[in-house]
Amino acid sequence: MNGVAAARSPLSRPGFWAFVVLMLALTVLFVGLGVWQVQRLAWKEGLIADVEARYTAAPSVLPPPDRWDLVDLDGLNYHPVTVTGTYEPDKTVLVFTSLSEPRGKFGGPGYWVMVPLDAGGGTVFVNRGFVPQANAPAFAQGGTVPAGPQTITGIGVAPEPAGAFTPGPDTAHRIEWVRDPARLAAIAGVSGPVLALTIDAPAGAAGALPQGGETTIDFPNNHFGYALTWFGFALLTPCLLAGWVWRQFRPVPEVGKSA
């Protein structure tokens, strides 16, 4: 062999096959992730269509409190709801928020004005609307609310979950950070049945506070872009593998060979 060991074929090297298997496995993984995002896209589009249909549906009349355990709360989320009761402004809870895309005049940091409504043996927290931080003290007791029985039609909203970093309530000033009826009832000192939905009041006169009609419907839908990204990786990975394999079999010029 003229003193030169024969070069080993790339096919005989364990590392060659390990890399090939890895790249093929990544290709399968990327395809799977792309398909999953396509499925998520279909689910999200269906969810958005369902919410839009509910949001514009005819109002559902809330039954008496002794029948609230029979109410389809999921079906009333983002659905118009009609309820009759009497406001209890002295038990108002302010919930901190930041209204980034207001429909009305006011936005930015502020509070939702959550006023309990005595619905005849049970309590419904009505979100009367948004007030800026500077105006919050005037609404600590609910502001000016109509006296006596009121019939309100607003949008049902499911409880906001508290996260790991959600602060505890400011009991002394009756300030909360999430619109969760159970937490609101605890800080307001409300007893008896509490509807596990809040109701967003409709918009009032232009420029009036609280600023109602600010129900936020936001379902980010980036699944199509994510799917394209994963399918792009699925196409790129075999190309990189083919290029690498070609380099492994490419003849290496001999260095220092004499004529």
Question: Is 255 a domain residue?
Answer: no
Mean pLDDT rounded to a whole number for the chain? 88
- Separation CA 159–CA 117 (nearest Å): 17
Measure the CA dihedral 24/26/30/31, to 10°. 20
Question: Is 240 a domain residue?
Answer: yes
Indicate the pLDDT class of residue 51, thresholds 50, 70 and 90.
confident
Using DSSP's 3-state secondary structure scheme, residue 125 falls into strand
Question: Is 1 a domain residue?
Answer: no
More confident residue, 250 or 31: 31
Q: Residues for the chain: how many in total?
A: 259
pTM attached to this predicted model: 0.75
**Looking at the structure, do residues 135 and 164 belong to the same domain, yes or no?**
yes
Stretch 136-155: mean pLDDT: 91
**Looking at the structure, do residues 88 and 35 belong to the same domain, yes or no?**
no
Return the pLDDT at 257: 56
**Looking at the structure, do residues 19 and 109 belong to the same domain, yes or no?**
no
Using DSSP's 3-state secondary structure scheme, residue 229 falls into helix
Stretch 151-167: mean pLDDT: 91
Place of tokens 């298997």: 21
**Looking at the structure, do residues 184 and 73 belong to the same domain, yes or no?**
yes
- Separation CA 40–CA 45 (nearest Å): 9
**CA 10 to each of CA 16, 19, 150, 246: distance values in angstroms, whole numbers, following the listed order:** 6, 12, 83, 10
Indicate the pLDDT class of residue 58, thresholds 50, 70 and 90.
very high
Return the pLDDT at 159: 93
Question: Is 131 a domain residue?
Answer: yes
Using DSSP's 3-state secondary structure scheme, residue 131 falls into strand
Alpha helices in 128-222 (DSSP H): 181-188
Question: Is 211 a domain residue?
Answer: no
**Looking at the structure, do residues 113 and 232 belong to the same domain, yes or no?**
no
Question: Is 27 a domain residue?
Answer: yes
- Separation CA 114–CA 171 (nearest Å): 14
| Bridge partner residues of 115 (DSSP) | 126
- Separation CA 20–CA 240 (nearest Å): 10
- Separation CA 143–CA 128 (nearest Å): 10
* CA dihedral sign, ordered 221, 215, 185, 193: negative
In the chain, pLDDT over 70 holds for what percent of residues? 93
Return the pLDDT at 255: 60
Indicate the pLDDT class of residue 250, thresholds 50, 70 and 90.
confident
**What's the pLDDT tens digit per position in 102-130?**
888 999 999 999 999 999 899 999 999 99
**Range of 153's domain?**
60-200
Residue 5 predicted with pLDDT over 90: no
- Identify the domain boundary among 166, 185, 200: 200
